[in-house]
Structure formats: C-alpha cells, structure tokens
Amino acid sequence: MSRTSLRPAGAARLAVPLAALAAAAAACGGSGDAHHHAVPVAASTAPNTSDEGGTIATAKVGNLGQVLVDGEGRTVYLFEKDQGGKSSCTGACAAVWPPVTSTGTPHAGSDAKTSKLGTTTRSDGKKQVTYGGHPLYYYTPDNAVKGSAKGQGLTQFGAGWFVVSSAGTKVAKGGS
C-alpha cells in the first residue's frame, strides 16, 4: 500500500505565495466571531505526497477524539458552505484550505468506511476526495503536521470549518 497519495491541489512542492495568503486574509473580513482567526502572514509548504489513490483513516487528534486524517496523519476538514457534494472553496479560499485531491480511488484506512469515500470533480477538473458527501480539505497553517487541527471551528470564507467523524459528520467540539 502506498504511504499516501492525497495531496492539496496544486501542491507541486511549492510554498503558498504570500500574496495569496494576504488576499485570503483580506477575504476573511472582520466578522467579530470568536472563532474567526486571521491567516498567518507566512508561506507554508504544502504536504509532499505522491499523486495516486490515497488513504483516509481516523486518528485521535487532541481533545477532538477519533477524526478523519490522511494516510500520513494530517487532519482533514469539511466546509459547511459546500452543497450537494460540490466544493465552493476556490481561489484565495483554496490557497488557505487546499482540497484533498486524488488521481486514483481513495481507500479507507483504520475506522474509516469505504462506503462513505468518493470523489467530486472540481471546477479545475481535479478529483477532490469526499467522505459522507463532504469534500475534504487541509488547512495550510497546520503545516502538514500530524495531529494538528488549528482549523477546527474556524469561520472563514463565509462558513464554518470542522474536522470530520468516521460517521461522516462534523465534530463541533474543541474549536481552536
């Protein structure tokens, strides 16, 4: 089995340009929401992964319990603004919240359910991994660190971001 083959779209081992992060921070606005956090003004290197099938599994992440992660233990998130299994996160949003993409069929690892895994085609033609009908994303400030969940409970780009349970539902506790 490959280590993992999920990757943030456009990762290509390049850092997210500072201009994209600045634009993303500006797009977040100032809602005054206690869970709203500014985007760090530092470039981040996207996870270095291969580009084929991939694994979605579960792991214990902080006080969130067992949540979905990729094959290398990186936390994945759902975006409440997504509707009908389609992503509504593009442009500056996708620079901060890179979609989990795959060129092959994603596989279920520990405690993840094969029946809940799928893909959806993004506007750029890439296949984004879904779980329970929710497109999945990474959070750039997690810096590809296993077990990091800095995006939990944030409100950015018009809606909330949450880690996902093995049942395919958002985990609402433990906002950062």
Q: Is the pLDDT of residue 175 over 80?
A: no
The candidate with the shortest Cα–Cα distance to 145, out of 48, 19, 5, 56, is 48
The 10 Å CB-count burial string (b at 16+, else e) for 130-147 is: bbbebbbbbbbbbbbeee
Q: How confident is the model at residue 52 (pLDDT cuts 50, 70, 90)?
A: low
* Interval 48-66 mean pLDDT: 79
